[in-house]
Structure formats: C-alpha cells, structure tokens
Chain A
C-alpha cells in the first residue's frame, strides 16, 4: 500500500455560468484572482497537492462550462469523480434555484455507485459584492436545502478576496477522500477530529 503512487482525488465544480467556478479554482490553486478569466468552453482541470493527516494527495479539480447547452459533455468529464462542488452566486437567485438541476444532472451523468451517499459540497460565492447588501439568497434557505439533500456541507466564499476558499477546498478534499473505496487507502482514525478542527465560517463540514 505504501508504495502506491500518490492518490488522485477527482473533484468536479458545477454551477451556472458566471457564478465564479473558474475564479474559485484559480484562487485555490494559484492564490490569484483576475477579472479576465474567459468564459469556460469545454472543460479543463488544475491539480494541487493536498495534505490530509500526514498523507499527500493530488487533488484534480475540474472546471466545466456553466452554459447548460454544454451539459451533454458532462458524461465524459464527470466519470470517476470523487466529489462534486455545487457553486451558486449569493446575489443571483436563479443560480441557487439551479443547484438542484446541477446535482441531479451530475448524478445521472456520473452515475456514481452509491448516489445516496455521494459527497457534494455547496459554495455560495461572491459574498464580497456590495458588502453583502445585494445578496438575495438567505443562509437559512441554503442550509435548509443542503439539509434536505443529506446534510451537504455549505461554505460561503469570495473568490475575489480569497475568503474561505482554502477551508472549503480542505473540506472538499476530505469528502473526496471519504468517497474512495476503503481498501484503496489507509485512513488514520483521527481524521474526524482533524476535520472539525479546520472548519471556519462553515455550517459544518461533516468530515
């Protein structure tokens, strides 16, 4: 086991066009925000080494196009995913309403072996805009939805300011790891404790 090559955790970021998927990914991986990212066409991914409880993993983060017309490509991109990140813009109600579609679309296209327990994470992005005055989706509403879908962990983020991005992706990595088949990895049993310790500003990452 120890000699296995570093384990790859595949994460898919989904959400409406313009909610900030590309920005979040770049903020996390490159610690940068740019106003000039182009609209994503097709798909791309970035990788980052993450350490979870003394073990190193390669997080492969897939950034896809938000335009619904391109969703049929998902089949090819979603397969083998270990975790799915659903992003919405707290200032745009429609982007929140669509989370359900994105989740279902993902389950259909990726057809994970255990859809009931497949790890999702929800991110409410762009909380920096207008100092939060233009937000239209209340935290209560999101949390209710997350609870109804099997306690999906929820984070509020700003890709622009880099706020909570690191914490969110820590949780994402852990959940992705949880999805890996048991026999593939050796998990120290302290993971739960460590998981909770790193949480900030979140409604509870159930790691």
Chain B
C-alpha cells in the first residue's frame, strides 16, 4: 500500500510542465513593465475538508476543529486551516467556560493557517493508526512542524492525493537524489525544488552528479508569484498580507510560556525524524558544493559540468526575486518561563549533611532555569566549573582548597622569580607579560571592582593570567582570556580559587584560543550547520552573501557573549551555560536564536558581510537575556538529535574526545 503512494517521476514532471503552460497563459500585465514571469489568476479551492482538528492538549475540551483547504493559484498551491468560530464549533461546550475557552481562543489564533505556500513545506507525514483518527503532520522547511491535524471524517489520503496531483511530491525527490530518504512511505517530501533557495543547492549538487536537472522544467514554479489574487475576499487579503509581511497571525504570543514543549514533544519528535533525512542529504550537498567551488578555484572544473555557471546565474536571479520575508517561520516550541535564582534555602536542600550534592542533575536543571543568587555564586560556580566534585564533602573541599592554594603559589613563583637579567634573555616571557599588562588595563575597567588607577584587582587579574600562561605554557596567553577571567575573579574574590576556576573553564574553552583556531572553526562550522537545520532560508541567504564562515559571530563565541551583555547578565548567562543542562553547546543555539530574530531585517535590507558584521556588533547591549535563553532552549529542543548531529564531537566546550570516551556506554542505558 505504501508503494502506491509514491508517484511516478515522469507523471509529475509532465504534470508540472503542463501546469506551467496553463499558468503562463494566465500571465497578467505587469505594471513595472519588466517581463516578470509571475502567474496569477483566481484562487481555486482544490480540496476542502471539514472537521479537521488539532489537539493542543490531551483534553478533549481543548480540541479545535476547523476546515482544511488547498487552494491553487497559477501553479502555486496554498494550504489553509481555519478554525471554526466558537458558536459553530462542534466541540464547544458551555460547560467549559472560563480559562479553557480563553486558551482555546488563543489556540484558535495561534494555529490558524491563512495561506501557507506549499513551497514552504518540507514534508507531510501521514499517520493511519489502526485505532483512532488519521492525522497528518506538516513539517516546514525550517524543520519546525505544525501540530497534527486529525481528520475526524477521514480524508487524509484524499488530501495527499490532491496534493500530489498539483505539486510534485515524490518525483522531485527522485531527480534530486533524495529518494532514498523516503524509507518510510508515509513521509511525503514536498516540492523541494519549488523552494528557490533550496533549489540552488540541490540543482547544483545534482548537476554535478550529472543527474537529470529538474530546475529548468520547473523554473516557472520557482518564479511563481501571486500578482493580484481576487475572488476570495478574505483569502486575497491574506495573500497580500502574506506577500508584504510575515503572517502576523501566526506569530505565537510570546507570553504563552507553559509546557507547550510537552504538548509539542510529539510534533517535534516527528519533525526531527523527518528532517533528519533532509539534513543528512543537505549535509552531503553542501560538501559537494564546497568541493565544487574548490574545483572551480583550482581550475580543475570538468568541462562536462561547465553548464553550471549558467545554472548558478539563473538560480541567483531566482534568489534575488524571492521575497525573503516569505520565510518567516512559526516556532512551535517555547522556552520555559525563567525562574527566580537559586536561593540559599534551596541550595542547602541539595546538600547532604556532609556537604555532598545528592542530585547534581536536578541542581543543574534548577540553575539552568533560574541561575543562582549572587552571594551563592562563589560556592556554586566551583561545582559548575568542575573545580569541586559534586560528591565531595565539606571536609574534602576544604582540604582541596588549601592544597590548591599551595600549588598556585608554586606556579606563581615560577614567573615571579624571573630576575630582570633573566627576563632580558627571555623574549617570550617579556612579550606575554606585556600583552597581558596591556589587556588587563583594558578589561572591565568600568566595573567598580576594577575601576580606578592602581586598582589592586587589576594586578590580581594580571598575576593569574601570567601564572596561567606558565601553567599552560603551550597555549600561553591570548586576547579574550582576560574577559573570561574577570567575572570569575569578581565572584571568587580570591586569587588562588579564581585561578583554579579559570583553569577549569579553560579545560573547555581553551581550544577557542588555539593557534590554529581549530576550536573556533569547529564551533563556527557547527553554527552554520545549525542555521542550515533550523533556518534554511537564512542559511541560503548567508551562502548567497558569502557569509557562511560566520565570522560575524566570532566575538559571541570566543568569549561567550561577554561583550554583548551587562556584567550582571554575564554572570547569569554563564552559570546557565555552564550547567550544560540541555546541551553543552547551548551558546550556539543562542547564536541561531539571535540571527533568526533579525532574519527579516537582515534579508529585507539585503545586508552584505560588512553591514552584517556592523549590525551584529551593534546588537551589543540590546539583547534580552531571558528571551535569548528561552529561545535557545526551544531551538535546542526542536532540533533534538539532529541539532546534536550538527556539532562535531569534541567541539568546544565539549571536553576533548579521549576523556569523553568512557561515558558513552552509560548514556545508552538511560534510553
């Protein structure tokens, strides 16, 4: 039965070609005078089904029913789902007034899909459980998904059949080499080729593999734009809304905090499964594209593929034509409401009578969602940074502190004992010292703790950094380290403890400062994969603008957003990051969150690398910390294993690979 769902390749391409012809006969006069291949015409309903419902929660009372429709205009297909007004809602029950009806009203606005262009859909997954209703899950190109649509009166199959009749569903998969990803016949990858941005990647890659090129025959689909939709009063206004601005009505009310995560865990799981295929494929494509670029640069381009230049031009034009704002996506998962910081009372409840932390995971979770009260930081940070073991006792920690203090003094004396005569013959030492001297006087001098001439704390900062450059002579000193140390010293207010906490932090962040920049490059690479996964339009835009190196985020990553927030907020941010609660790489999701937030502006203003860098630098001091954490949390949950798969093993702040080895078997047992 699954097999029959797969459409024959030739059928669909024929169909698409045919629809292009009918489409082009519909071309209306374009007032700009330019020969735009836009298509327009009346919106036709090609599918309509009543009593298609979503289940925002497990409560039957909260279900929202509506009408699912497919519209066709020219060769473009749109999906809409409009919930019924409360009065006509079959599920509505006066018994459930009060809060339920309010949340239902919210849900109604939240989930309404006025007109979703099918080109924004990555795939549709159909479920036909033996018991209960059939449902479909619509996964957007961004990897995010709408909640399942339940077909109370049946018709899921018919829906997909209609869809297939009007857009290429599986054929494009075959031509672009994505067919092998459909090992589950219930997943329908929708018209990747219709997405001009994705198309550029795919067509180049497929071209390289000397596969049949889909792009030419479907170019009209690429170009398709709605010129003046009429007839459907309601809907046509939605179109203009869609064309001008992102669909505001889909913007989730930001304050809906709640456990939406749980509600959507099902969805995101599906989204994950489906996008994992795409991701793997795209991954390959990107590498191929890079390889090819390399070939071009090296002058080894195979004549057989030389048509690619023309192809590139075409796709570039298509990219320019497409309205970037069309790609505003609807995040379906929200981060958890932030809590108050961990208080002394709570903290003590985590400790047993001898001072061990009984449940370190719960502690980390707690800190992740709220941070730590300032006066507890000195104690708590030592655990988060790994200087103290969670299962150590008060006595053990006290002992360790005195041992470490002693050890620090010895390390420090190594450079303190260098005489002037020796220093004269020790260039490396002199250079390091002068670099550190120059940097500590430029580090957080506006913070009261480091303010003023001859501030003793600035000297301590210098001593610790110089000692560290002896402790880790190979790494030495690098700019940015003083930024990382300053908050630690500010919290610890103790030289030796600050040194050891800094050392612990550098176990993870040290590779950021590698001479070959390998630690930074692996993070920037992971970031680019994450943006590709979570925001493919933005990724394509960056590719087009030659910004895929993500140098624009270099400062964010190198010093963990140190320059982007007020000092107080940095303390909060860092303790959240250090919990490694959802991911060791939450900072990368934060980068994605910020970039996504400004995507409309970035793409709308067509920022190039320079402008973008300036824009990013100037965001400093304007980012809302709680928002950023929540958003990163949601993205991280959304991306799930695929997100984790974007990050190469050993990417900082992960510990270097060898030390990680022993841990994996344990993880398997959990699941």
Nearest Cβ on chain A to B583's Cβ, whole angstroms: 24
Do B610 and A17 touch (CB < 8 A)? no
With contacts A41-B554, A41-B563, A45-B614 known, is A36 near B445, CB below 8 A? yes
Do A41 and B480 touch (CB < 8 A)? yes
Selected interface stretch from A69-77, A167-175, A183-191: A69-77
- Cα-based distance from A45 to B617 in the complex (angstroms): 10
With contacts A44-B617, A72-B517 known, is A18 near B445, CB below 8 A? no
Asked if A108 CB lies within 8 Å of chain B CBs, one says no
Complex: chain A residue closest to B514, CB-CB:
A69
A-B contact count (CB 8 A): 70
Asked if A94 CB lies within 8 Å of chain B CBs, one says yes
Interface 1/0s, chain A 28-47, versus B by CB < 8 A? 00000001111111111100
Asked if B439 CB lies within 8 Å of chain A CBs, one says yes
With contacts A37-B442, A72-B517, A76-B549 known, is A67 near B479, CB below 8 A? yes
- B610 contact from A18, A38, A60, Cβ within 8 A: A60
Asked if A159 CB lies within 8 Å of chain B CBs, one says no
Q: Which residues of A contact B445 (CB under 8 A)?
A: 35-36
Do B558 and A17 touch (CB < 8 A)? no
Q: How big is chain A's contact interface, by range?
A: 20 to 34
- Cα-based distance from A77 to B613 in the complex (angstroms): 10
Do A41 and B517 touch (CB < 8 A)? no
Do A69 and B431 touch (CB < 8 A)? no
Complex: chain A residue closest to B431, CB-CB:
A94
Do A73 and B551 touch (CB < 8 A)? yes
Asked if B513 CB lies within 8 Å of chain A CBs, one says yes
Complex: chain B residue closest to A76, CB-CB:
B551
Nearest Cβ on chain A to B511's Cβ, whole angstroms: 12
Asked if A65 CB lies within 8 Å of chain B CBs, one says yes
- B492-517 at interface with A (beta carbon < 8 Å): 513-515, 517
- Cα-based distance from A42 to B512 in the complex (angstroms): 13
Nearest Cβ on chain A to B316's Cβ, whole angstroms: 19
Asked if B482 CB lies within 8 Å of chain A CBs, one says yes
Q: Is the interface of A mostly helix, strand, loop or mixed?
A: loop
- B413-439 at interface with A (beta carbon < 8 Å): 431, 434-435, 438-439
- B515 contact from A36, A38, A69, A77, Cβ within 8 A: A69
Interface 1/0s, chain A 159-170, versus B by CB < 8 A? 000000000000
Q: Which residues of A contact B478 (CB under 8 A)?
A: 67, 69
With contacts A18-B438, A76-B551 known, is A39 near B517, CB below 8 A? no
Complex: chain A residue closest to B546, CB-CB:
A76
Do A39 and B551 touch (CB < 8 A)? no
Do B558 and A41 touch (CB < 8 A)? yes
- Cα-based distance from A72 to B516 in the complex (angstroms): 8
- B609 contact from A38, A41, A76, A92, Cβ within 8 A: A76
Do B517 and A69 touch (CB < 8 A)? yes
Nearest Cβ on chain A to B345's Cβ, whole angstroms: 38
Most B C-beta atoms less than 10 A away, residue of A35, A41, A67: A41
Do A17 and B609 touch (CB < 8 A)? no
Q: Which residues of B contact A69 (CB under 8 A)?
A: 478, 513-515, 517
Nearest Cβ on chain A to B20's Cβ, whole angstroms: 39
- A2-60 at interface with B (beta carbon < 8 Å): 17-18, 35-45, 60
Complex: chain B residue closest to A72, CB-CB:
B517
Asked if B443 CB lies within 8 Å of chain A CBs, one says yes
Nearest Cβ on chain B to A162's Cβ, whole angstroms: 20
Q: Which residues of B contact A70 (CB under 8 A)?
A: 479, 517
Do A42 and B479 touch (CB < 8 A)? no
- Cα-based distance from A37 to B446 in the complex (angstroms): 10
Do B482 and A43 touch (CB < 8 A)? no
- B554 contact from A17, A18, A42, A60, Cβ within 8 A: A42
Asked if B441 CB lies within 8 Å of chain A CBs, one says yes
Q: Which residues of B contact A44 (CB under 8 A)?
A: 613-614, 617
Complex: chain A residue closest to B478, CB-CB:
A69
Q: Which residues of A contact B610 (CB under 8 A)?
A: 45, 60
- Cα-based distance from A43 to B610 in the complex (angstroms): 10
Complex: chain A residue closest to B427, CB-CB:
A94
Most A C-beta atoms less than 10 A away, residue of B482, B517, B559, B610: B610
Asked if B292 CB lies within 8 Å of chain A CBs, one says no
Do B482 and A39 touch (CB < 8 A)? yes
- B555 contact from A18, A41, A66, A77, Cβ within 8 A: A41
- Cα-based distance from A57 to B443 in the complex (angstroms): 35
Q: Which residues of A contact B559 (CB under 8 A)?
A: 41
Q: Which residues of A contact B555 (CB under 8 A)?
A: 41-42
Most B C-beta atoms less than 10 A away, residue of A65, A76, A92, A94: A76
- A73-97 at interface with B (beta carbon < 8 Å): 73, 76-77, 92, 94
Q: Which residues of A contact B441 (CB under 8 A)?
A: 35
With contacts A39-B439, A76-B549 known, is A65 near B479, CB below 8 A? yes
Nearest Cβ on chain A to B669's Cβ, whole angstroms: 41
- Cα-based distance from A85 to B434 in the complex (angstroms): 23
Do A43 and B613 touch (CB < 8 A)? yes
Do A38 and B549 touch (CB < 8 A)? no
Q: Which residues of B contact A45 (CB under 8 A)?
A: 610, 613-614
Q: Which residues of A contact B438 (CB under 8 A)?
A: 17-18, 39
Q: Which residues of B contact A41 (CB under 8 A)?
A: 479-480, 483, 554-555, 558-559, 563
- A17 contact from B435, B483, B514, B551, Cβ within 8 A: B435
Complex: chain B residue closest to A41, CB-CB:
B555
Complex: chain A residue closest to B476, CB-CB:
A69
- Cα-based distance from A35 to B563 in the complex (angstroms): 17
- Cα-based distance from A38 to B479 in the complex (angstroms): 10
Most A C-beta atoms less than 10 A away, residue of B431, B435, B446, B482: B435
Interface 1/0s, chain B 514-533, versus A by CB < 8 A? 11010000000000000000
Nearest Cβ on chain A to B377's Cβ, whole angstroms: 23
Do B480 and A38 touch (CB < 8 A)? no
Q: Which residues of A contact B482 (CB under 8 A)?
A: 39
Most A C-beta atoms less than 10 A away, residue of B442, B549, B558, B617: B442
Do A38 and B443 touch (CB < 8 A)? yes
- Cα-based distance from A6 to B555 in the complex (angstroms): 30
7 closest A-B pairs (Cβ-Cβ)? A18-B438, A42-B554, A42-B555, A67-B479, A41-B555, A39-B479, A36-B445
**What are 18 A-B contacts with C-beta separation under 8 Å?**
A17-B435, A17-B438, A18-B439, A35-B441, A36-B442, A38-B442, A41-B483, A41-B563, A42-B554, A42-B558, A44-B613, A44-B617, A45-B613, A65-B479, A67-B479, A69-B478, A70-B517, A92-B434
Given contacts A41-B559, A67-B479, list 11 more A-B pairs with CB under 8 A: A18-B434, A35-B441, A38-B563, A41-B483, A42-B551, A42-B555, A42-B558, A42-B613, A44-B613, A60-B610, A76-B609
Query: Which A residues contact B (CB, under 8 angstroms)?
Result: 17-18, 35-45, 60, 65-67, 69-70, 72-73, 76-77, 92, 94
Query: Which B residues contact A (CB, under 8 angstroms)?
Result: 431, 434-435, 438-439, 441-443, 445-446, 478-480, 482-483, 513-515, 517, 549, 551, 554-555, 558-559, 563, 609-610, 613-614, 617
